[in-house]
């Protein structure tokens, strides 16, 4: 772990962590540092995050002990509908291209957080990102590995602006190669100098609309100008004496909490966190929770999901009763309760305030559509909709899609932990594994974060991916119980990339972890002479 009495910034990219730590050293708040680090991530991890994506935040105020939630996810353009897509001959919700684009919520989300919890001037927060965009930065291994994959390259080449910006010389940059994006630097300068209006009403908005129009999209000036993030009340459960928090729908945080509730119905395995009994329980609990989240989570402004019922201990016991301890369930159905890719970061400042912060363009390079002259991609969050007429997540103009982004927080007594593990659909099950490792098996933050994980993108089927660091005997016994195992290499990015910070409000000491599955680090605030 990284341990310090000063503030700490933990992100998936070391240059972003450094930028956050430098902001803390200048008396910036946790939110100031998070915005600065997030902006740098938009430059150094353009595959994952940036100006064209959405934002979700949990913020713990050390003085009041209050936890505040922000949903900065944007809706579909008002003119985008199943009927519109049908006229284009589209029968399934696109996962990329201009019709997968929803209104980006990050910039206005940053601004609302800064207005409420920031200390430093807004303009100062973007200077590191501008410098890296204009002067360049050396590409790190984790990004190069994904950037160079054939599918990503093909997707970028399908959009002329994406190919121009992100395939310098016609190919992806190599590890250590200096990559510059002056167009993105220009966009960040506009945001820094003119605030969110530059993005939602001004020069950047005009570029977004021009790009959309050239590709036959439906985005309008009103779609951008009318967007506002929403302050929300976090949802939570008690897990073995710890209070664990997530954000409510339209995010999938409910799945992590339901999974933990189901796991809590049975004691930790005497064989340890990587025993066949424990992993079987986690995998089966995940399937039950995911079947519910994909059935019931949607934009709460259009659908009233039965969240209290799904998070009740009684419902968890009913769902847990469906688990066979000796056999994998390959056909899990949603219950009757009644009633990506991403970048995650967390920051604690010297006052003990904790920002649990997640932002994303969803798929690698989002929609693969780059805003003309601005150097950033637009997210493909519209892919979270369905065209099934009676489904809660059916596409509708002005509606927010199902969202994978989930920042998390947990506390007991004097210990307060901001944490998150990005990775699209993998996030809830990765959260639950981290929480169980820490609480049930008494691992420290770093051990709990880098411990072997399993992953699975949805409830149906008995397929499951597991890192090969899990003991061979466990893999063998899981296979005998009917799990179809795909063995993955160690510390693979597809298992999620996480960060965590623990603040002890009694001692004032901070502890941090950074996942080796990413290019990041937890960096303490430099001590001032």
CA-nearest of 86, 84, 80 to 102 is 80
pLDDT at res. 321: 94
Using DSSP bridges, classify how beta strands 484-488 and 463-467 pair: parallel, antiparallel or unpaired. parallel
Q: Which residues are marked as active site?
A: 342
Kindly report the backbone phi and psi dihedral angles of residue 502, in degrees, each rounded to the nearest multiple of 5, phi listed first: -110, 125
Domain edges within the chain: 1-529
Place of tokens 């990050």: 106
Annotate 117-156 with b (16+ C-beta within 10 A) or e (fewer).
bbebebeebbbbbbbbbbebbebbebbbebbeeeebbebb
CA-nearest of 79, 398, 378, 372 to 206 is 372
CA-nearest of 8, 12, 7 to 449 is 12
pLDDT at res. 339: 41
pLDDT at res. 404: 82
Annotate 27-45 with b (16+ C-beta within 10 A) or e (fewer).
ebbbbbbbbbbbbbbbbbb
Determine the 3-state secondary structure of 270 from DSSP: coil
Tokens of 26: 């200048």
pLDDT at res. 251: 85
List the chain pLDDT tens, one digit each, 529 residues.
Answer: 999 999 999 999 999 999 999 999 999 999 999 999 999 999 999 999 999 999 999 999 999 999 999 999 999 999 999 999 999 999 999 999 999 999 999 999 999 999 999 999 999 999 999 999 999 999 999 999 999 999 999 999 999 999 999 999 999 999 999 999 999 999 999 999 999 999 999 999 999 999 999 999 999 999 999 999 999 999 999 999 999 999 998 888 899 999 999 999 999 999 999 999 999 999 999 999 988 887 877 778 887 778 899 999 999 999 999 999 999 999 887 666 644 567 899 999 999 999 999 999 999 999 999 999 999 999 999 998 999 998 888 999 999 998 888 999 999 999 999 999 988 788 999 999 999 999 999 999 999 999 999 998 888 889 999 999 999 999 999 999 999 999 999 999 889 999 999 999 999 999 999 999 999 999 999 987 7
């Amino acid at each position: 772990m990284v341990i310090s009495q000063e503030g700490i910034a933990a992100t998936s990219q070391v240059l972003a962590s450094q930028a956050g730590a430098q902001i803390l050293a200048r008396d910036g708040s946790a939110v100031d540092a998070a915005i600065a680090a997030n902006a740098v991530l938009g430059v150094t991890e353009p595959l994952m995050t940036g100006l064209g994506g959405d934002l979700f935040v949990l913020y713990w105020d050390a003085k009041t002990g209050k936890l505040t939630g922000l949903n900065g996810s944007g809706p579909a353009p008002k003119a985008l509908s199943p009927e519109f897509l049908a006229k284009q001959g589209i029968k399934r919700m696109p996962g990329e291209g201009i019709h997968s684009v929803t209104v980006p919520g990050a910039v206005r989300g940053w601004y609302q957080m800064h207005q409420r919890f920031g200390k430093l001037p807004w303009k100062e927060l973007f200077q590191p990102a501008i410098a890296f965009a204009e002067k360049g930065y050396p590409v790190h291994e984790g990004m190069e590995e994904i950037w160079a994959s054939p599918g990503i390259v093909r997707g970028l080449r399908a959009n002329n602006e994406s190919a121009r910006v992100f395939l310098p010389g016609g190919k992806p940059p190599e590890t250590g190669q200096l990559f510059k994006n002056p167009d993105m630097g220009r966009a960040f300068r506009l945001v820094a100098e003119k605030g969110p209006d530059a993005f939602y009403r001004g020069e950047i908005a005009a570029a977004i609309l021009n790009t959309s129009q050239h590709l036959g999209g439906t985005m309008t000036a009103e779609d951008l100008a009318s967007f506002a993030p929403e302050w929300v009340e976090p949802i939570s459960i008690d897990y073995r004496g710890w209070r664990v928090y997530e954000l409510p729908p339209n995010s999938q945080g409910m799945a992590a909490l339901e999974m933990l509730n189901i796991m809590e119905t049975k004691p930790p395995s005497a064989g340890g966190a990587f025993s066949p009994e424990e992993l079987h329980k986690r995998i089966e609990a995940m399937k039950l929770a995911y079947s519910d989240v994909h059935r019931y989570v949607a934009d709460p402004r259009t659908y009233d999901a039965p969240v209290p019922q799904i998070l009740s201990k009684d419902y968890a016991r009913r769902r847990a009763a469906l688990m066979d301890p000796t056999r994998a369930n390959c056909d899990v159905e949603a219950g009757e309760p009644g009633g990506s890719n991403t970048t995650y970061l967390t920051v604690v400042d010297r006052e003990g305030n904790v920002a649990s912060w997640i932002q994303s363009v969803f798929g690698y390079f989002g929609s693969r559509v780059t805003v003309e002259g601005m150097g950033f991609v637009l997210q493909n969050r519209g892919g979270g909709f369905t065209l099934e007429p009676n489904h809660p997540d059916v596409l509708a103009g002005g509606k927010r899609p199902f969202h994978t982004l989930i920042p998390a927080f947990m506390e007991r007594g004097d210990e307060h932990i901001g944490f998150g593990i990005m990775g699209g659909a993998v996030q809830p099950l990765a959260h639950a594994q981290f929480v169980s490792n820490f609480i049930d098996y008494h691992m420290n933050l770093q051990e709990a974060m880098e411990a072997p994980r399993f992953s699975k993108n949805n409830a149906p089927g008995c397929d499951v991916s597991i890192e090969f660091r899990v003991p061979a005997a466990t893999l063998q016994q899981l296979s005998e119980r009917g799990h179809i195992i795909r063995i993955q290499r160690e510390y693979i990015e597809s298992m999620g990339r996480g960060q965590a910070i623990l603040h002890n409000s009694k001692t004032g000491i901070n502890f941090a972890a950074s996942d080796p599955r990413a290019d990041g680090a937890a960096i303490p605030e430099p001590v001032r002479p």
